[in-house]
Structure 1
Amino acid sequence: NGNVPPAKKLWKSTFDKDISRSIRYFMRMTIHGGYKVGQYWDNIPSHEWKGKCCDTHESMDHILTKCTAAGQKEIWDLTSEMWRMKTGIEMRPTIGQIMAGGVTKVGNMGENRLYKILITESTHLIWKLRNERRIQHTGPHALEKIRNRWLKTINNRLVVDCAMTDGLKYGKKALKISLVKSTWKKTLKDERTLAKDWPKKVGVLVGVG
């Protein structure tokens, strides 16, 4: 549902090693309302405009699920496309589902892990694009660049997963090949032609787009 789970459960997810370190920080800041958005600016003379977006108060809900500027819709479209490849189900998360992305159980272990990766990586990218547009004043993002940024983000995460299967390098912290394979199953480019030990290979990419 769209409800935000208890803070204790959310806080626990910010220590989940399946979630990138920078995203865990972003999640902690979001949980504690640490970002200066929306009503924060209402009582600061000459800065009230910073709290507005799309003729409404900017909020995390607005930024991540409602903003009409290029970014959030396109990223969730790509995320949903990949999730359909995995499960046959659409992904159109509410703010509650986004906040709970690190602790939500949606199916088997591989599905749960990919869901966690997709929703947290996509959310963080939307936030970064917002900051570029609103703070760095880069202007609207081209749709093709948004797509390429998302693909790069998810493919980089796939590369990290594959690298982490190296038991000699990572020891007890290494990921099991079976876990990586179950996480990315049904989402890879030319998947039927991949070797059984594809996590040990170079150049494997997701099949979105």
Structure 2
Amino acid sequence: MPQHKQAMTPSLWSRIEGREGQQLPGRVAPWSPATRWRDRILLRLGRVQWHAGHRLGEIVSHPSGEINYLTRSCVTISKADKTLITVPTTQDWQRQRLKAGEMLFAWLLDPPRPIPLAWCTPFGLVHSPFPSLLPHDGSNTSAAAAVRDIEIEKPCLPSARKTTPLFGDENNRPFTYSVLHRELRKVLTALLGARAASLYSWHSLRSGLACALQS
């Protein structure tokens, strides 16, 4: 029987944010978002998840090879004057620098083909039909800034936005569930020990967000 996972707490996530240079079990390189793309993308994913609570199925690759994950084409900038930039370029992000109070819309892709009922929610949905609204609070650790930094660090041609994952690896390929799970587990094991770390997964951020909304 699957083990029930604990909800992530803001204090635990802040410990992950502040662990630059910590040695991780089972990995030669230390945890270093400052120097390692994969560590940076994990932090950025977590920052977005804390605000939006996407299912991991909206982030990772599917065995069929079909695109059911968030891509760069899912991102729209909403400026303070309500102007929308639906295909933002690197220059758009650099000009904007997302002032405090501006919004970034992350739209979910519709699945490319009919989805078996077993994959759906009780309401018949695979992905939410509503956009995630990521406000920028002026800090570099906000959810909107996380998306901005991905776009600036790894620019994407307009013609490739529909196939390039928003949260991709060093080669712009989508992560698998097992890779994301393993990387998060290593960080949590370094912080909490193996037994306590096993109580958490990426779903813990969704649970933590739900708990925060209820409090």
**What's the TM-score, normalizing by structure 1?**
0.31
Structure holding more strand per residue: 2
Structure holding more helix per residue: 1
Greater relative contact order, per chain length (Cα 8 Å cut-off, separation 6+): 2
